[in-house]
Structure formats: structure tokens, C-alpha cells
Amino acid sequence: MESAASSASRASPRISSAGAIAVRDDVLQRELRIGGIVPFTTTDFPGRLAAVLFVQGCPWRCGYCHNPHLIPAVADTGLREHTWAGVLRWLESRRGLLDGVVFSGGEPTAQRTIGEAVRDVRALGFQVGLHTAGMYPRRLAALLPDLDWVGLDVKAPRAGYEIVTGVAASGMAAFESLDLLRRASVEYEVRTTVHPVLTPPAALQMLARELAARGVARWTLQPFRPIGCEDETVVAAAPRGMAVDAPLLAALGAHIPEIVVR
Ligand code: SF4
């Protein structure tokens, strides 16, 4: 894993004689649609104090999506996007206060300029994390040298992926991204949202076997929470405060040594 300092030396912003970082005008012109910012989190980038940048746009349509306002490629009328220039200027003011920045979404890898944006952030001295559903493996592969951590959503067993995403063959890309991460040296987490209809116990058991076959030793399960979800059928199908019950956990644990429920 490369250090922030080593990547900063080849990245876009320049360091002025006074030692302060000035962001070049051409960098400030870069386009990256940011639909929201969480200025401070201790939970979205393990072990780091971080900000979260929510990138606008996602081509999938997961029934349980809790950020549906980030799905359109351009923010719906009435929601304000942040310009990349504004985000970088704000991040400059956070230097020394935050360890890292997480790109989340929406789907960050859906935007062609994500690689340059990641390098802009590293150049300001931050570590960089990425939340992704792994739908663009080639773009992910290009990003990996500049990332410190990846949270990869593996949503379902490969054959049943479109039940969750609404997109045919979407599992191929996600599993290709998982294989990339396994071969890379970057830290990563595999996580799956648990919903009684979209990811029922039989699907989770099949997924556990598929992950085990790929050598995944730690798996994070996230019981569905209705906050933000706009699909009433999906919300109605899940009991309030649903959990992963002990027998299912034991069955999944027969395949994966460490399972975290969050
Ligand atoms: S991949 Fe993520 S952002 Fe896209 S629809 Fe699914 S849950 Fe929502």
C-alpha cells in the first residue's frame, strides 16, 4: 500500500513556497458530480477520521437502495450538487483535521473522472477510501494503486444478482471486482445487505459458499434498514429492527471464519 506522501509528489495540486497547497485552476475545472457530503465520520473508513463524498449517479436499481436521490446521473431538481472546485477548497480547510476521504454514492466508479479526483484528494495529503458495488472492474483496477481501502458490496450469489440490482448479468462485474481486490494489496471489506426477500437465507448460504471458494475470510452483513428506501414493497417485507438470526449466522459461519453484523 502506497503512502499519501508518495502519491502527493506526483499529483495535481502544487505546493506554494509558503508551504500551503494551492489547487491549480485546471484541477478546479474538473467535473465530478457530488450529490452530498458528510463532513466527519468515524465509521465509513475503518480506523480513520474521514469525510464522505457522495458521488451522484448509479446505473443499478437495487430495491433496498437507501440513497435513491443519488441514482440519477444528474441531481433531481431541487437538490444542489457540489462543484469539484468547491469540494477541493473545502477539503483544503480540513487538512490536519481528517485522516481520509471516502468516495461513496451512488456509484463513484460510474464517473469517468473518478481517477483524477482520487489523485486530487491524495495530493492534499488525505488517505482515500472507496465504497463501490464493483460494477466497473476495469475502472476499479485503474484506481487501486491510489486507494487505501475499499468497501465492496457483494449483493447476492452470482446467479441471482439481478434480483437485487434489477440489471441482468450484474453479478459478473461484481465478482470480477472481488477477484481484483483479492489479488491487490489494498485493504478491503466485503459486505452484503440482508433482506428477507431480496437476499433470503438460501441466497446467503449460496453466497457464503461462493465467497469461501474465493478465499474471503471476513464478511460484513448489514441487516436492511428502511431509512431512505423508497420502495414500499421492500420496506413492508422486512420486519422493523430486523437482525440476522443465530441459526443462519451459524450456517454462514461454517463457510466464512469471521462474520461481522453491523
Ligand atoms: S448500487 Fe448502491 S447506489 Fe446503486 S442502486 Fe444499488 S444500493 Fe443504490
**Rounded CA separation 9/232 (Å):** 49
Asked whether residue 229 carries a pLDDT value surpassing 80, the answer given is yes
Q: What is residue 127's predicted lDDT score, i.e. its pLDDT? A: 98
**Span from the CA of 54 to the centroid of ligand 1 (angstroms):** 12
pTM above 0.85, yes or no: yes
Domain extents for the chain? 31-250
Does residue 103 contact residue 114 with C-beta atoms inside 8 Å?
yes
Asked whether residue 4 carries a pLDDT value surpassing 50, the answer given is no
Lowest mean pLDDT among 80-94, 140-154, 156-170, 198-212: 80-94
Take residue 30 and report the three cell numbers written for it. Answer: 474538473
Does residue 158 contact residue 170 with C-beta atoms inside 8 Å?
no
The stretches of 136-190 forming alpha helices (DSSP H) are 137-143, 161-165, 170-183
**Span from the CA of 65 to the centroid of ligand 1 (angstroms):** 5
| DSSP letter (8 states) at residue 73 | S
Using CB distances shorter than 6 Å, the residues near ligand 1 are 58, 60-62, 65, 67, 71, 105-107, 133
**Rounded CA separation 19/93 (Å):** 14
What's the CATH number of domain 31-250, 3.40.50.300, 3.40.50.720, 3.20.20.70, 3.40.309.10?
3.20.20.70
- Whether the CA torsion 24, 6, 109, 260 is positive or negative: it is negative
Which three-class secondary structure state does DSSP give residue 117? helix
Q: What does the pLDDT average to over 133-148? A: 97
